Structure 1
Amino acid sequence: MTDRSRPRGADMPPEEFRRHAHAAVDWMADYLANVGELPVLSPVRPGETAAKLPPSAPRHGEAVEDILRDFRDVIVPGVTHWNHPSFFAYFAITGSGPGIIGEMLTAALNTNAMLWRTGPAQTELEERTLDWLRQLMGLPDGLHGTIHDTASISTLIALAAAREAAGLGVREEGLSGRDLPRLRVYASREVHSSIDKAGVTLGIGMQGTRKIDTDGEFRMDPAALEAAIEQDRAAGIRPLAVVATTGTTSTSSIDPVRRIAEVCRRLDVWLHVDAAYGGSAALVPEMRHVLDGAELADSLVVNPHKWMFVPVDCSVLYTRRPDVVRRAFSVVPEYLLTPEGESVTNLMDYGPALGKRFRALKLWMVLRYFGAEGMAERIREHCRLARELARWIGAEPGWEVMAPVPLSLVVFRHRPHGMSDERVDALNERIMAAVNATGRAYLSHTRVNGRVVLRFAIGNLGTTEEHVRDAWKLLREAASAEAASS
């Protein structure tokens, strides 16, 4: 249905907005209440959603009722529901009620706090909220925090600051056409791919990231790190930064950050801590050890959208050296000069983006709604459920846990007696596919020591022990079906 009654050049009238927004909020409330009844992994085939959409935009405006109907009938069936309590793939997340309300208000305000002047409350709320979070995580005074979209960007900014701190003149002279030493970033073999991407973006290249060996619990070996840095320096390679991880993607291993920090201090190398996932656990007082030594880092990233119930996207970068970050990125043309000068924080100075969304609002609302104890209680329960699942797996013949469980991720596989590793790999891939095809749970996989393993990440607010038990039952049923068919 086409709506030709609208005045030309006008926005949606307030009363019409009110009516349709109420309808949308009603849908959202029903969705959050019933998302567990939907298939967690969308069953659509590639191209199926696009085939239901017109090949070009409408010439005339359409009625909101029609748009919302197509949202329900065309878009939602093609959605993989990350807000599902049985979403156990990658790192499970939650778009919580207070966070969603914050996101709605952010869209209504539609602010851009590139400068303090263009977003005074936005700038100061970001500073204050990130100081709250710093305290909740047990980090020391003096850290400067900024919010970005993802850990990939936060890490990119940190490594660009490390490059600036190296005094190579890259800001002014660039990299090309110059006689510069080869640059190196160090991380464990379990490091996230965002480190490689940052190296590609910053001109360090994929080969510029040197992967350091790990111990039996998949943690970086500080002695191997120190030897690698010394070896590279002797070969004329310039070390830029070390990336230590607390909560790796494949195994949730926690690098010995304090010992790594001692190496970085002795050898004068920037230390960045990737706590995108694991840093949230520090909100639980008895789990503060996950960030032991992080107070010595030059920079640290944690993602509230991973395990703090904040809707995607919200990544926090802390640094002890904001002056270096600002030196790496601040570019102030005449049209962005303001009377406040350097007496205020201008968020545009601390990363490549000029525009700054009001992401702090949803984080602020989530922290206020749940409070410190509420956040800790929920994260603590997710870790308990993970340990319980690991216990069930360890007690089941033919199944094995493949890595320690320090947080809320369980890494495991089915391994029937006498089966070759290659056949075990293929078997676990089939088991995962069978479970995911049910629509009742969604798991992902990785490789540990070269072998395929299944990842079961617990982190959604709605996840209960019943959801975990149901997924474990599906896994055993899929394994039994495989055995029966062989």
Structure 2
Amino acid sequence: MTPEQFRTYGRQVVDRIADYLATVERHPVRSTVAPGEVRAALPAHPPERGESFDAVLADLDRVILPGITHWQHPSFFGYFPANASGPAILGDLLSSGLGVQGMLWATSPACTELETLVVDWLADLLDLPPRFRTDADGAGGGVIQDSASSAAVVAVLAARQRAGEGRHRLYVSSQTHSSLEKAARITGVGVDNVRVVDVDPETLAMDPARLDESIAEDVAAGFVPTMVCATVGTTSTTAVDPVRRIGEICRRHGVWLHVDAAYAGVAAVCPELRWLNDGVAEHADSYVTNPHKWLLTNFDCSVLWLADRAPMVDALSILPEYLRNTATSSGEVVDYRDWQIPLGRRFRALKLWSVIRWYGAEGLRAHVRRGVELAGHVAGRVADDTRFALWPWHPFGLVCFRPLWPGMSTTDSNAATMTLLERLNDSGALFASHTKVEGHVLLRLAIGSPATRHEHVESAWRRIVAEYDSMRAEPR
């Protein structure tokens, strides 16, 4: 493809993306294709001769778009949002066009130095502690990972490196993201050495007293307590673990504290929500949050900060001859290859930099506040309706609730709720998901798309009520 051909088709692609974002509401939120339908609509073998890009775009319309579940739809409430804003898309396009492989400072100094700048900017916006800054003479620093799952693997490796040899133990709660269990498998700690700590049944937050007891029991049994994961905004219900109290226990026992704020952490751009950082400055050894969820930056962009990067670098640094260079040998530069699992890395900082510059702190705060406000509206509607029971914790953009099915057992009620969910999602008018708390299936509405407005959440609520009433009216 010549530069002129690229220019021609590039304009068409940008126009298509702009048209898609402008008209995404016209699509059913969830794809209606059957399993195997997309593959069956395309040739089984690759073309012998190259095709025009017009043919690619035609198949995009004919085959691909019908098979898309539209995460940017204003009525997509199924999972935490995956914002794809204009400046982020353009930043990602620039990254792809430049084609930088930023494994070393020497392979593109701007790729590394822009990343150190932008993660420091984000730390400032979230009011995170200065020890997380990537200063040349400091111990800590931040890095953009592809996801919080990869960040968890890096954090576990760093914690294990600091803890030394022994039978390592990780501590999570029943509400901790599954990525921590996967990290235990990947790092060799083993799932059997992941200890699940009890939670408060009312808040679903980790019980610090039980954590303290668990660590003491393991020390007595010869284990090496290695890491505790405290979550700020769990995936299921956005429960918040008491980071300060957990951190005090970790400090007393010499255990690494990893704070997983993948979803909710970015809410701290709003001063009124910075209570969620309580204890982080004093106690967190590592902290992760995902701009690619609620901060208008398209996937993938997850930021991991460490108070002391040395254990991570010690665990991950391998320097074959072909990577040796003067800048690395000087010790004056950051080489992000030592901060992640793969060697290669994309220029992800461009899209986060573009987002922060375009929206500014004011615009980012407005976006988060709108999500919180809309979630509060839905929660109010649920609380005022005797046909539904609201899970009371909803400080962010997630609302959890369940329909009440009088006369039904818990098992039958759960089955009815799942049927209601499928009927709602099959309608194409909205997309929701579910979780389970205390044996009851709850519906989850996660609000946070920049396209979502009051009329969308109100329409979703009316659809839920109407579908519920329809099911109640059907003969059993």
State TM-score, norm by structure 1: 0.94
Amino acid corresponding to residue 310 of structure 2 in structure 1? D
Q: In the alignment, which residue of structure 2 is the partner of 1:57?
A: 46
Report the Cα distance in structure 1 between the residues aligned to 2:340 and 2:381, rounded to whole angstroms: 45
1:210 aligned onto 2:195: yes
**Which residue pairs with 1:293 in the alignment?**
279
**Aligned sequence identity (%):** 44
CA distance in 2, matches of 1:186, 1:243: 6
Aligned counterpart for 2:163 among listed residues 151, 161, 166 = 166
Aligned twin of 2:333: 344
Q: Distance between the aligned counterparts of 1:93 and 1:87, measured in 2?
A: 10
Question: Take 1:283 and 1:190, find their aligned partners in 2: how far apart are those partners?
Answer: 25
| 1:229 paired residue among 190, 212, 215 | 215
* Rounded Cα–Cα distance in structure 2 between residues aligned with 1:411 and 1:207: 31
Aligned match of 1:154 in 145, 151, 156? 151
For residue 253 of structure 2, what is the aligned residue in structure 1?
267
- Alignment partner for residue 430 of structure 1, among 415, 419, 424? 419
1:41-67 per-position Cα deviation (integer Å, ceiling 9, x unaligned): 000000000001111110000011111
What are the residue-to-residue correspondences of 1:109-128 with 2, within 5 Å?
A: 109-128=98-117
Which stretches in structure 1 are left out of the alignment for 5+ residues? 1-11, 169-179
Q: Does 1:310 align with 2:307?
A: no
Aligned to 2:442: 453
Separation in 1 of the partners of 2:310 and 2:274? 28
Measured after TM superposition, the shift of residue 464 of structure 1 is 0.7
Cα deviation for residue 419 of structure 1 reads: 2.1
Give the drift of 1:250: 0.4
Structure 1 contact 217–403 (Cα < 8 Å) conserved: no
Distance, in Å, in 1 between the alignment partners of 2:6 and 2:294 is 33
* Conserved 8 A contact 1:242-1:272: yes
CA distance in 2, matches of 1:318, 1:47: 41
- For the residue of structure 1 that corresponds to 2:305, the secondary structure is strand
Preserved CA contact (<8 Å) 1:130 1:146:
yes
Count of aligned pairs: 463
Task: Give 2:406's aligned residue.
Answer: 417
C-alpha separation between the residues in 2 aligned to 1:165 and 1:36? 50
Partner of 2:267: 281
d(CA) in 2 for partners of 1:165, 1:251: 32
Q: Which residue of 2 aligns with 1:77?
A: 66
Q: Distance in 2 between matches of 1:351 and 1:97?
A: 28
The AA in structure 1 aligned to 2:149 is S
Alignment of 1:390-405 (within 5 A): 390-405=379-394
Letter of the aligned partner of 1:212 in structure 2? V
* Residue of structure 2 equivalent to 1:197: 182
Partner of 1:469 in structure 2?
458
Equivalent pair of 1:82/1:92 in contact (CA under 8 Å): yes
CA deviation profile, 1:416-466 (whole Å, cap 9, x unmatched): 233211111011101110110111110011111122111110111111111
After TM superposition, give the deviation of residue 15 of structure 1 in Å: 1.0
Amino acid at match of 2:238: S
Q: Which runs of 5+ in 2 are unaligned?
A: 133-140
Distance 1:366 1:440 in 2: 29
1:160 Cα deviation from its structure 2 partner = 0.7
Tell me by how many angstroms 1:207 deviates.
Answer: 2.1
Measured after TM superposition, the shift of residue 352 of structure 1 is 1.4
How far residue 71 of structure 1 moved from its aligned partner, in angstroms, is 1.0
Residues of 2 paired with 1:213 and 1:388: CA distance?
32
1:322 pairs with 2:309:
yes
Query: What is the CA–CA distance in structure 2 between the aligned matches of 1:193 and 1:413, rounded to whole Å?
Result: 24
In structure 2, C-alpha distance between the alignment counterparts of 1:451 and 1:284, rounded to whole Å: 33
* 2:111 counterpart letter in structure 1: Q
Please name the residue that 2:138 is paired with.
Answer: none
1:165-193 deviations in Å (ceiling 9; x for gaps)? 0112xxxxxxxxxxx43x21111211110
Determine helix, strand or coil for the equivalent of 1:243: strand
**Per-residue Cα deviation, 1:214-242 (whole angstroms, up to 9, x for no partner):** 11111111111101110111112221100
Who is 1:484 aligned against? 473
Provide the aligned C-alpha RMSD in A. 0.9
Residue of structure 1 in register with 2:88 after alignment:
99
Aligned to 2:321: 334
Select between 438-447 and 202-211 the one with higher mean Cα deviation: 202-211
CA distance in 2, matches of 1:411, 1:403: 8
Deviation at 1:403, TM superposition (A): 4.1
> Match for 2:189: what amino acid?
I
Q: d(CA) in 2 for partners of 1:154 and 1:416?
A: 42
The one-letter amino acid of 2:176's match is: V
Letter of the aligned partner of 2:191 in structure 1? M
Cα distance in structure 2, aligned partners of 1:21 and 1:128: 30
Letter in 2 for 1:90: Y
- Which whole-Å CA distance do the structure 1 matches of 2:306 and 2:430 have between them? 38
| 2:179 partner letter | S
Give the equivalent residue in structure 2 for 1:67.
Answer: 56
**For each residue in 1:243-297, what CA deviation from the matched residue of structure 2 results, as whole angstroms up to 9, or x when unmatched?**
0000000010111101110000011100000000010110111101111111220
Aligned to 2:173: 188
Q: Tell me, yes or no, if the aligned pair for 1:246 and 1:279 is still in contact at 8 Å.
A: yes
Quote the Cα distance in structure 2 between the aligned partners of 1:403 and 1:298.
31
Distance in 1 between the 2:25 and 2:192 partners? Answer: 44
- Alignment partner of 1:117: what SS? helix
Question: 1:203 & 1:348 partners in 2: Cα distance?
Answer: 21
TM-score (norm 2): 0.96
